Structure 1
Amino acid sequence: MTNQQLFLGIDCGTQGTKAIILDAVSGRVLGQGAAAHKLISGANGRREQDPAQWLDALTLATRRALLAANVDGQAILGIGVSGQQHGLVLLDHQGKVLRPAKLWCDTETVEENDRLLKHLGGEKGSLERLGVVIAPGYTVSKLLWTQEQHPEIFSHIAHVLLPHDYLNYWLTGRSCSEYGDASGTGYFNVRTRQWDLQLLRDIDPSGRLQAALPELIDAHAPVGTVLPNIAGHLGINPRARVSSGGGDNMMGAIGTGNIKPGAITMSLGSSGTIYAYVDQPKVSPDAAVATFCSSSGGWLPLICTMNLTNVTGVIRELFDLDIECFNALVTQAPIGAEGVCMLPFLNGERVPALPHATGSVLGLNMTNLTQANLCRAVVEGTTFGLRYGLDLLRDNGLQSRSICLIGGGSKSQVWRQIVADTMNTPVICTEQSEAAALGAAIQAAWSTSWANGHEDSLSDLCERCVKLDLASETLPIAENVMASQQAYERYRQHVATL
């Protein structure tokens, strides 16, 4: 048996939890497991989840990954947790969850966000004070909403945590947060890397929220070791060290080796994100660019669209299509879908900033209303939102020689070609499509290495563990680029009328 160093990477997303077992010596993923979550949806854009589901899913996914890897859980040296960003988990003094977690895609708090933004002095004031412009999905408006809608619950708050912080708390019993995920709360200053305590006092002068904040730790610092009863429950080593973890985008950056300037990662998941590493907090004047901290010690300017595979999924269900049939129809339709343009804002939209928007299909006539054109239009429409965001990042001085694609949509060859043509940039996938879970496992290895006197830098670990899938490389095709540009300009004209 060769020398192995095993780490568990967890990614708790909107649709489910994934777990992978990484051997940091060979850089190989030995096994993976997954388990699904359900969404609680309601009127006014309510999108919530019961955190108890996350614990069940983490347990199941971990057991499945250990089984698939055929390794003994007692050999696990460390755990890293990636989580969906912005979600609000409220605990009482006993550590009991007070109500379902409001998620990143919840738009019930738009009005509270508007009031908070006004309080901060609008977009300009928010940028100056926090380094980001708070958006309806951020955590801060969820706190104000809870105070106003559920005063009784609010009065019992003892811990205010993000989803990944809550999983770390369950694993270790310690309440803390890491700068990357904290950047998306709306009460954290990304330049100074500190909580904005005054903003929380403005919401609640009693100081309850301030007292409920988790302690901030560095990206390389461990949260602690796994509690003995939890280690027993998961079937893993009780001495396993839990790293700081981070938001799914921050972990996706590590899992694609995006830890130095020059790389761009694009995630085609439920939502769409694009981000790039920088080593200085150069805050963009554009409200749509969130200059979050990275979970590797730098910053991660990022744009996020609210509608991606969640919308292509709705169209697939509408026509009762599996992925293969859907992709075949997308390929059948020409670029620009014969003039059919979809503005896919089913969840409202953050980039472009249209929180109250709804979806629409435009340009229909007697001949172009086909299944194939509608399928193509939804893929193009969601991709155009990412193009809009990439242009903002490029205006901000970010270079993109190539784009690393991750997320469910990246598995589609036809979608990869549409991205390459729309962005006029080569794209390539990583071998491991679960980039956030991989990033979490790599960060756990880095945290352990740090504790052992820096045997491996984060850069060493990424070099060994992040492998590009050369077969997935997709280059833009010149004539497609021109046709895509025309379709994109049509999309921009339609968006302008909103």
Structure 2
Amino acid sequence: MYLGIDCGTQGTKALVLDADSGQVLGAGSASHTLQSGANGRREQQPQQWLEAFEQATRQALAAAGVSGEQILGIGVSGQQHGLVLLDEQGAVLRPAKLWCDTESTPENQRLLDHLGGEAGSLQRLGVAIAPGYTVSKLLWTKEQHPDVFARIAHILLPHDYLNYWLTSRACSEYGDASGTGYFNVRTRSWDRELLNFIDSSGRLCDALPELTDSDQPVGRLRPQIARQLGLNPDAVVASGGGDNMMGAIGTGNIRPGAITMSLGTSGTLYAYSDQPTVSPHAQVATFCSSSGGWLPLICTMNLTNATGLIQQLLELDIHSFGDLVGQSPIGAEGLLLLPFFNGERVPALPRSRASLLGMDSDNLTRANLCRAVVEGTSFGLRYGLDLLRASGLQSQTICLIGGAAKSPVWRQVIADIMGTPLVCPQHTEAAALGAAIQAAWCLTPAADRQAQLAELCERCVKLDASTQTQPDPARTARYEEVYQRYREQVSLLAESTPRL
């Protein structure tokens, strides 16, 4: 039995996997709260993650009807780009700045200028650093909290921190490290010179975690943590990885030809590549995968966080929201919502804000507002899909995951806007499943590691035929007109947004 954990923005999910049969036996979850502030601040207390980890784990074990003593390995998936700073004693120095935090946008621009702009960053790192990446958070910390900066002993990502809590070992896996902004995705190594540019003393380099291969375990559970979680004290913690990398494994996206789309707090779209072919489009991040290759990826910062705001405003539950979306026609009778509530990464508008366009005395209805936010967030993913396709990545179908993938209304909107068939796996929370599969991979020696991972994915990743959704050509054509209007408005917004 293997335990998969996914520590996301809104909460932590856990599941118990029988890797021999490929069956998920039980699942659990616990929520997190987000600390929001001026200038795009988005932070969380890592202590919440630990409490949610324990709660979700106990729920999953109870639902599976198995004892924690039967757990052989644990895999951890975590939200990417977050900054967790520890002192010499391993204590957290301040709240973690998250992937969706844009407070350090000015610092990111200064670092980007140092690298020679997007082209220079792509040439040097293989990615163009963007607001939300970890590197600008370090510079922000140095300038805004010098007392905290002076005490840094460990620089960790969220999933690194959870592995550290479980094992006392500070290490990082290539896929998650790719999103820091101080990692070279071609050579799979830290860019220490960039960190020394932030602080010439070399302290930041000394605080870096050890890099480890994706199929290598981190270590055994600490006895105290095993007792606290009610788990087998001999259980081994796998390398784990970023939520997108674990989601790729959890959808079987470990070979060229597949595209995974995630409808979570953010929207992500990624495809496997066996070569580090860096896209000329700066918004395509060619991260390392957690399966031995690379994972060209785009990420929008506004998806269910945006639709959730409209739900709260109109005091709707998720089912009522979906019903209203279905009552409004394509294009929401002229209502267009640019859902950039916290800035945006794709399209690259970090300082933009949301706007509602095309209102008149007839079309400002609850149904049209719900339809407009679903369309606006989906158009961001379509924009990203266009970039992936322009980079040479193709797929005949999309594997759709994330909380919103459970909605038939969402699925049809996505299929029609993308003009591509889609299907969901049986377990749409694929990051936790991928983490459990990776744990089984780490703990089971084999001569051909890639073939072994493929076999595990084939056994454990199952598609839900009832979710297969075909695009309707007539609806796709109508969406294309609305999408082009979206593109026009994005261009106008980009022109009017001052460069930092």
Instruction: Give the TM-score range, shorter chain.
Output: over 0.9
Aligned twin of 2:284: 289
Equivalent position amino acid for 2:414 in 1: V
Q: What do the CA deviations read for 1:90-118 (whole angstroms, capped 9, x no partner)?
A: 00111111111000011110111011001
Superposed displacement of residue 339, structure 1: 1.1
Alignment of 1:198 with 2:193, yes or no, is yes
2:406 corresponds to which of 386, 403, 411: 411
1:316 corresponds to which of 311, 320, 331: 311
2:24 corresponds to which of 15, 26, 29: 29
Aligned twin of 1:385: 380
1:480 corresponds to which of 475, 481, 487: 475
1:161 corresponds to which of 136, 156, 159: 156
- Residues 261 and 451 (structure 1), Cα distance of their counterparts in 2 relative to 1, 3 Å cut: closer
- Residues 454 and 44 (structure 1), Cα distance of their counterparts in 2 relative to 1, 3 Å cut: closer
Alignment of 1:117 with 2:112, yes or no, is yes
Mapped to 2, the partners of 1:105 and 1:171 lie a distance apart of 26
Aligned twin of 1:235: 230
Superposed displacement of residue 450, structure 1: 2.6
Aligned twin of 1:491: 486
Alignment of 1:12 with 2:2, yes or no, is no
Aligned twin of 2:130: 135
Q: What do the CA deviations read for 1:204-244 (whole angstroms, capped 9, x no partner)?
A: 11111000000000000000111111111111111111111
Equivalent position amino acid for 1:310 in 2: N
SS at the partner of 1:497? helix
If the length of structure 1 is used for normalisation, what is the TM-score? 0.98
Q: Give % identity.
A: 70
Mapped to 2, the partners of 1:301 and 1:273 lie a distance apart of 11
Aligned twin of 2:440: 445
Alignment of 1:257 with 2:266, yes or no, is no
* Contact 2:446 2:452 (8 Å CA) reproduced: no
Superposed displacement of residue 368, structure 1: 1.3
Superposed displacement of residue 452, structure 1: 9.5
Mapped to 2, the partners of 1:485 and 1:202 lie a distance apart of 45
Aligned twin of 2:360: 365
Superposed displacement of residue 125, structure 1: 0.6
* Contact 1:41 1:48 (8 Å CA) reproduced: yes
Mapped to 1, the partners of 2:153 and 2:342 lie a distance apart of 31
Mapped to 2, the partners of 1:98 and 1:152 lie a distance apart of 10
Mapped to 2, the partners of 1:275 and 1:415 lie a distance apart of 19
Equivalent position amino acid for 1:180 in 2: G
- Residues 102 and 455 (structure 1), Cα distance of their counterparts in 2 relative to 1, 3 Å cut: closer
* Contact 2:425 2:464 (8 Å CA) reproduced: yes
- Residues 452 and 67 (structure 1), Cα distance of their counterparts in 2 relative to 1, 3 Å cut: farther
- Residues 497 and 460 (structure 1), Cα distance of their counterparts in 2 relative to 1, 3 Å cut: same
Aligned twin of 1:3: none
Equivalent position amino acid for 2:145 in 1: H
SS at the partner of 2:218? strand
Mapped to 1, the partners of 2:262 and 2:304 lie a distance apart of 10
SS at the partner of 2:350? coil
Q: What do the CA deviations read for 1:302-355 (whole angstroms, capped 9, x no partner)?
A: 000000000000001100011111111111111111111110000100001001
Superposed displacement of residue 41, structure 1: 1.1
Superposed displacement of residue 454, structure 1: 6.1
The number of residue pairs the alignment matches comes to 493
Aligned twin of 1:328: 323
Mapped to 1, the partners of 2:132 and 2:50 lie a distance apart of 23
1:65 corresponds to which of 39, 60, 63: 60
Aligned twin of 1:420: 415
Aligned twin of 1:84: 79
Mapped to 1, the partners of 2:92 and 2:365 lie a distance apart of 48
Aligned twin of 2:183: 188
Alignment of 1:461 with 2:456, yes or no, is yes
Alignment of 1:223 with 2:215, yes or no, is no
* Contact 1:220 1:450 (8 Å CA) reproduced: no
Equivalent position amino acid for 1:132 in 2: V
- Residues 455 and 118 (structure 1), Cα distance of their counterparts in 2 relative to 1, 3 Å cut: closer
Mapped to 1, the partners of 2:274 and 2:449 lie a distance apart of 21
Superposed displacement of residue 453, structure 1: 8.9
Mapped to 1, the partners of 2:445 and 2:165 lie a distance apart of 23
* Contact 2:214 2:292 (8 Å CA) reproduced: yes
Mapped to 1, the partners of 2:392 and 2:456 lie a distance apart of 28
SS at the partner of 2:73? strand
* Contact 2:334 2:363 (8 Å CA) reproduced: yes
Q: What do the CA deviations read for 1:157-193 (whole angstroms, capped 9, x no partner)?
A: 1100000000000001100000000000000000000
* Contact 1:449 1:456 (8 Å CA) reproduced: no
Superposed displacement of residue 455, structure 1: 11
- Residues 26 and 147 (structure 1), Cα distance of their counterparts in 2 relative to 1, 3 Å cut: same
Structure 1: 4+ residue segments shifted above 2 A: 450-456
Mapped to 2, the partners of 1:363 and 1:310 lie a distance apart of 22
SS at the partner of 2:445? helix
1:106 corresponds to which of 101, 105, 108: 101
* Contact 1:343 1:360 (8 Å CA) reproduced: yes
Mapped to 1, the partners of 2:422 and 2:446 lie a distance apart of 36
Q: What do the CA deviations read for 1:392-416 (whole angstroms, capped 9, x no partner)?
A: 0000111110000001111110110
Aligned twin of 1:272: 267
1:74 corresponds to which of 69, 76, 83: 69
Mapped to 2, the partners of 1:87 and 1:452 lie a distance apart of 35
Superposed displacement of residue 496, structure 1: 1.3
* Contact 1:117 1:134 (8 Å CA) reproduced: yes
SS at the partner of 1:251? helix
Mapped to 1, the partners of 2:341 and 2:450 lie a distance apart of 48
* Contact 1:449 1:455 (8 Å CA) reproduced: no
Mapped to 2, the partners of 1:470 and 1:191 lie a distance apart of 38
